[in-house]
Amino acid sequence: MKAVLMTFALLALVSHAAVAGGLKAATVDVRKIFNAWTYSVETQNRIEKAREALEKENNNRLAVINEYRMERNQMHQQYQINKATMSKEDKKKMDAKFRSLGRDALALEQDRRDFFEKGKRRLASEISSEAKLVLDQIVQAAQVYALEKKFDMVIEIGGTTRDVPLFVHLEGAVDITDELIKRLNENSGN
């Protein structure tokens, strides 16, 4: 509730300052830019492909481990059926192979977990650094545009408080979102 009251107080203060001081204000929807800017979309697609590749490799490793487990289960079933007729030597060989498969499966499982966790951490780090890079470029483009067009302030309207934009309406503000998308796409060579 305090956040909502603070938001309305800030809105009233900014609106009053804009009207009283003749401030020239612009609005921008960063989320819309993020989803429409070619570079940002390509970055999101590249990260999604990396995530899919990580999942695929993890699943492939898991399939190998499951093959080891199935072979162990089959050996166990075979042993239960044939134990009465098996020689001590055959039992010993089967036991050694059974234990070896168990150790190998356990080692592969640990390796798979380590691989997957490292991959997820690497992907999270890449997402964070790419998001920061994209957002920094959007902010820089907004700043340059605001200086060129002599706006006193640029307000981000895409951010939400309980799914309602922080600024629902700002009298006299110009939405520069589409112009920034156009510029960013032109500057990225797309």
pLDDT per residue over 91-139, tens digit each? 999 999 999 999 999 999 999 999 999 999 999 999 999 989 998 898 8
Structural domain span for residue 19: 2-187
> What single DSSP character describes residue 88?
H
Q: Are 25 and 173 in contact (CB under 8 A)?
A: yes
Residue 181 pLDDT > 60, yes or no?
yes
Residue 14 pLDDT > 70, yes or no?
no
Q: Is 151 exposed, middle or buried (0-12, 13-18, 19+ CB in 10 A)?
A: buried
Supply the CATH number for residue 37's domain: 3.30.910.20
Residue 10 pLDDT > 70, yes or no?
no
Q: Are 138 and 30 in contact (CB under 8 A)?
A: yes
Q: Are 41 and 167 in contact (CB under 8 A)?
A: no
- pTM for the full predicted model: 0.70
The per-residue pLDDT for range 29-87, each reduced to its tens digit, is 888 998 999 999 999 999 999 999 999 999 999 999 999 999 999 999 999 999 899 99
- What is the tally of structural domains in the chain? 1
Q: Comparing 65 with 7, which gets the higher pLDDT?
A: 65
The per-residue pLDDT for range 126-163, each reduced to its tens digit, is 999 998 999 889 888 988 998 899 988 888 887 654 55
